[in-house]
Amino acid sequence: MKISVKHKAITTVALISMSDVVFLLLIFLLISSSFITYTGLQINIPTSLNAHADIQKNISLSINDREEIFINDKLVQRENLISELKTEIDKNPDIVILIQADQNIALKNVVELIDAAKSAGSTKFFLAAQLLRRN
């Protein structure tokens, strides 16, 4: 007994739905993008293996490569630094000061910022560093 097998050509094309493709692209972009963005001044801060990525509401005390000092992106003269910091600290005594310094700035300038933060009454501050990615 002979069984006849009919060969039928496939006329349809199996396509992944457009919504699946968009969903996969969205997942890829979310995974590959950085979730932390720094706003404000462009300061080239040094890297560290133990840098923390969590950013809270704080006072940003920055010094750029031209030795200009900023409090929350506002240019401040060195003579007015302590009084400006004290004004900000008086609004919230438990606020943390984030000290950002360009990696090419001399250490004495960073020490001056720390001294100014302490003189203004701050007890909570930390230095910003970028997380160094290991290969």
Output 123 or 46, whichever has higher pLDDT: 123
Half-sphere exposure in the Cβ direction for 76 (13 Å, CA): 23
Mean pLDDT of the chain: 79
pLDDT tens-digit profile of 91-102?
888 888 888 888
128, 99 in Cβ contact below 8 A?
yes
**H-helix or E-strand containing 113?**
helix 107-119
Does pLDDT of 84 surpass 70? yes
Does pLDDT of 67 surpass 70? yes
The pTM score is: 0.56
pLDDT of residue 55: 47
- Of the candidates 101, 6, 8, the one whose C-alpha atom is nearest the C-alpha of residue 46 is 101
* All domains of the chain in start order, with CATH: 47-131 (3.30.420.270)
- Of the candidates 107, 109, 125, the one whose C-alpha atom is nearest the C-alpha of residue 117 is 125
Output 36 or 6, whichever has higher pLDDT: 6
Does pLDDT of 51 surpass 80? no
pLDDT of residue 29: 80
Mean pLDDT over 59-80 rounds to 89
